[in-house]
Amino acid sequence: MYKGGVGHSRTQFHCKLIVWDRSIELCTAIYALTRKFPREEIYGLTSQIRRAGVSIASNIAEGYGRGSRGQFKQFLAIALGSYMELQTQLMIARRLGFVDSSDFERVESLASEVGRMLSAMLSKLRVAPDP
């Protein structure tokens, strides 16, 4: 999940945060999935799902880039909230019949992995004493 400490070279954070890498993979899968949604959803569910996915990766990056443990925790918590939004929106899309099972399962699997990683990181950061 996390291969280094906050404050390491911010230009190379992508090499240290596996959760960030998986969230980028999730974003790519989300965009592929939502291309198949009905055209009339472009400003509705399509946009919301894409924004939630991008928000996860962006908040991980921004929190890491802030350089403090407290801010990192705060932005990871925001990313986790975006993950919860994404899960809700994916369920709505599935119930509306916008996605087939195999496409849904791939995105759902990636999303669940990212969610577990975020939860684990937050738990560890919350119990670890601040430096």
Domains and their CATH numbers in the chain: 10-127 (1.20.1440.60)
Closest to 2 (Cα-Cα) out of 11, 10, 14: 14
pLDDT at 2 over 80: no
What's the rounded mean pLDDT across residues 36-46? Answer: 95
Q: pLDDT tier at 1 (50, 70, 90 boundaries)?
A: very low
The whole-model pTM stands at 0.85
C-alpha–C-alpha distance, residues 54 and 48, integer Å = 10
Q: For residue range 53-82, what is the model confidence (pLDDT) as tens digits?
A: 999 999 999 999 888 899 999 999 999 999
Q: Note whether 104 and 62 are within 8 A (CB).
A: no
